[in-house]
C-alpha cells in the first residue's frame, strides 16, 4: 500500500490513539523540550533559559545576545490498560478472544531542535523543529473489540522558522510559520463481530496508512517590567490536513448498520476505493509568567487553552461508498492546562527545578472511547541543569503523570480504562 493510502479516518483515529499515552490533553504533546519538563512547562514563554524557548514564544528570542542552540529528546513510557466489561466482553471470553490489554500506548521518543540567531540589537531569527501532536496505541490483532481497538499511530513534525523584533526595553514581538508533516496508520480488526460475517477475528475491517503536509502560523508577545518580572502571551494557529488515498475493508459490501458495526468503515470486500479525510490540529493559546523573587529563586506559572472544539467528528468520504465510508462523533470541548513551577540556582554549576500541572480532558464523558482513552491528569516533575562551562550546559528531567480510571462505553462495547505515564528528558544547550 502506498504512503498515500490514508484517509481522514486514519489520521484522525491515529491521532486519537495518542490520547492513551497520557501526555497533554487528548492527542496533544507538551514535550517540546527537557528544561521546561522539569518545571511542568510552567512559564515557558517568558523564561528563556536556552534556545528551546522558541518552541513556545518567538518573541523570547530577544532575550539572547548571541547565537544559541538546544537539542534533545523526551522518552515517554505510558502504562495504559483497557479491560472489557459487560455481556459483549463475556461473549468474547467465551469465544476465546482476549478482553484485557496492557500497555496499549506504545513507548515513544520525542526529539527536538532549536537555533536562535541575533541579527542586531532589534532583530532576531530562529528555527525550531519539534512536535505538538502524535504517538500511538496497539491492541492484540484478535482482541474481541477489534472494530474499535486495533492499531492507531500518528507522527507529526513541525518545521517552524521565526523572527522577533525588540520594540523597546519592555516589549518584544515575534511571529513564525509552521510547516507540519503528518504520517498516520490505522488498522482495525473484526474481533467478535466476525461471527456471522464469514470472517476471522483477525480479519481487517480497515487498513489505512498515509501522510500529508499542513501549514499554519504562530505569534508571541513578551512584556518585561524589568529583568526579574516577565509575562508572555502566545498563539499557535490550527493546522488543516487533508489525507487522500485508498480505502479498503475485508467487510462485505453491506450497510454499516449492524448492532456491532456502528461507527465502522463501510465494507468493500477487500477492494480499494479512493477517498479522503479532513483533520484539524487545534489552535493553542498560552499565558506565561516569570518572577525572579530572589537571586537564587524564581517562580513560574502558565495557563494554556486548546481549541479542541474544532475536533467534532471523524469522517472519511469516497465516491466508492454510497454513504460516508467512516463516521464517528467526537464532540471535543475546549480545554485548559494550568501549571506552576520553581527554579533554584544551587551554585554556579547546578540549577534545580520542580513543577506541578493539571490537564483537563476535552473528551465529554458520553463520547469516551478506547481509541482516545483520554482522562484528566496531574503532572509531578523534577529537573536539573548542569553548566559544564559558560557556553555548554546539559538538562535532565523526570515527570510522573497521574491519570484516573474511567468507564468507557462505545457502541455495544463496555470498558474500564486508565493509566499513568513516566517521562524522562535529556537536552544539550550551547551558546556560541
Q: Measure Cα distances from 330 to 96, 112, 113 in Å.
A: 31, 30, 33
The predicted pLDDT at position 312 comes to 82
Helix/strand/coil percentages in the chain, nearest 5:
15, 55, 35
Q: 151-166 and 123-130: which strand pairing?
A: antiparallel
Counted residue by residue, the chain has a size of 432
Instruction: Give the pLDDT confidence score for residue 23 in this predicted structure.
Output: 54
Strand ranges of the sheet holding 313-317, from the earlier edge strand across to the other edge: 239-247, 273-281, 313-317, 326-329
pLDDT of residue 176: 98
Q: Cα(49)–Cα(191) distance, rounded to whole angstroms?
A: 51
CA distance 161 to 65: 19
Question: What is the structure's pLDDT at 257?
Answer: 44
Q: Please compute, for residue 224, the number of CA atoms within 13 A of its CA located in the half-sphere on the CB side.
A: 18
Across 190-268, where does the E strand assignment appear?
204-226, 229-236, 239-247
At residue 367, φ and ψ (nearest 5 deg) are -115, 15
**pLDDT tens figures, 274-315:** 777 788 899 999 999 999 999 999 999 999 999 988 888 777
Could you read off the pLDDT tens digit of each residue along the chain, which spans 432 residues?
A: 344 433 333 333 333 333 334 456 668 888 999 999 999 999 999 999 999 999 999 999 999 999 999 999 999 999 888 988 888 889 888 889 999 988 888 888 999 999 999 999 999 999 999 999 987 888 999 999 888 888 888 889 999 999 999 999 999 999 999 999 988 788 888 888 887 677 889 988 887 777 889 999 999 999 999 989 999 999 999 999 887 777 778 877 765 444 444 555 677 778 887 777 788 899 999 999 999 999 999 999 999 999 988 888 777 777 666 666 667 778 888 999 999 999 999 999 999 999 999 998 888 888 888 877 778 889 999 999 999 999 999 999 999 999 888 888 888 888 988 889 999 999 999 999
pTM recorded for the entire structure: 0.88
CATH of domain 8-431: 2.40.160.60
pLDDT digits (tens, 9 = 90+) for 215-256: 999 999 999 999 899 999 999 999 998 877 777 788 777 654
pLDDT given at position 405: 85
Query: For 339, phi and psi rounded to 5 degrees?
Result: -145, 155
pLDDT of amino acid 251 = 78
Amino acid at each position: 500500500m502506498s504512503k498515500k493510502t490514508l484517509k481522514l479516518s486514519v489520521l484522525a483515529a491515529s491521532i486519537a490513539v495518542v490520547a492513551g499515552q497520557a501526555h497533554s490533553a487528548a492527542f496533544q504533546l507538551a514535550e517540546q523540550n527537557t528544561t521546561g519538563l522539569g518545571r511542568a512547562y510552567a512559564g515557558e514563554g517568558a523564561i528563556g533559559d536556552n534556545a528551546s524557548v522558541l518552541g513556545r514564544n518567538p518573541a523570547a528570542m530577544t532575550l539572547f545576545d548571541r547565537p544559541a542552540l538546544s537539542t534533545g529528546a523526551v522518552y515517554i513510557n505510558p502504562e495504559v490498560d483497557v479491560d472489557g466489561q459487560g455481556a459483549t466482553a463475556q461473549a468474547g471470553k467465551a469465544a476465546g478472544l482476549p478482553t484485557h490489554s496492557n500497555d496499549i500506548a506504545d513507548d515513544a521518543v520525542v526529539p527536538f531542535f532549536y537555533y536562535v540567531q541575533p541579527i542586531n540589537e532589534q532583530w532576531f531569527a530562529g528555527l525550531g523543529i519539534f512536535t505538538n501532536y502524535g504517538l500511538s496505541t496497539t491492541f492484540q490483532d484478535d482482541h474481541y473489540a477489534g472494530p474499535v481497538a486495533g492499531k492507531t499511530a500518528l507522527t507529526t513534525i513541525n518545521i517552524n522558522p521565526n523572527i522577533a523584533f525588540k520594540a523597546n526595553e519592555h516589549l518584544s514581538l515575534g511571529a513564525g510559520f509552521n510547516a507540519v508533516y503528518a504520517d498516520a496508520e490505522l488498522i482495525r480488526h473484526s474481533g467478535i463481530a466476525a461471527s456471522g460475517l464469514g470472517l476471522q477475528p483477525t480479519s481487517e475491517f480497515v487498513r489505512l496508512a498515509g501522510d500529508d503536509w499542513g501549514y499554519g502560523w504562530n505569534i508571541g508577545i513578551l512584556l518585561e517590567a524589568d529583568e526579574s518580572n516577565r509575562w508572555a502571551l502566545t498563539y499557535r494557529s490550527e493546522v488543516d490536513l487533508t489525507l487522500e488515498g485508498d480505502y479498503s475493508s475485508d467487510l462485505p459490501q453491506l450497510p454499516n448498520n449492524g448492532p456491532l458495526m456502528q461507527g465502522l468503515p463501510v465494507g468493500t470486500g477487500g477492494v480499494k476505493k479512493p477517498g479522503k479525510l479532513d483533520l484539524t490540529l487545534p489552535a493553542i493559546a498560552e499565558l506565561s509568567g516569570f518572577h525572579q523573587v530572589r537571586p537564587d529563586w524564581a517562580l513560574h506559572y502558565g495557563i494554556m487553552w486548546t481549541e479542541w472544539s474544532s475536533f467534532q467528528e471523524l469522517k472519511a468520504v469516497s465516491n466508492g461508498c454510497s454513504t460516508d465510508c467512516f463516521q464517528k462523533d467526537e464532540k471535543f470541548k475546549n480545554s485548559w492546562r494550568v501549571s506552576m513551577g520553581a527554579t533554584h540556582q544551587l551554585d554556579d554549576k547546578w540549577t534545580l527545578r520542580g513543577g506541578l500541572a493539571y490537564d483537563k480532558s476535552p473528551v465529554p464523558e458520553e463520547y469516551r472511547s478506547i481509541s482516545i482513552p483520554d482522562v484528566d491528569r496531574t503532572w509531578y516533575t523534577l529537573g536539573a541543569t548542569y553548566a559544564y562551562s559558560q557556553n555548554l550546559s546539559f538538562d535532565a528531567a523526570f515527570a510522573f503523570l497521574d491519570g484516573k480510571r474511567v468507564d468507557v462505553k462505545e457502541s455495544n462495547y463496555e470498558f474500564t480504562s486508565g493509566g499513568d505515564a513516566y517521562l524522562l528528558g535529556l537536552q544539550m544547550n550551547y551558546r556560541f
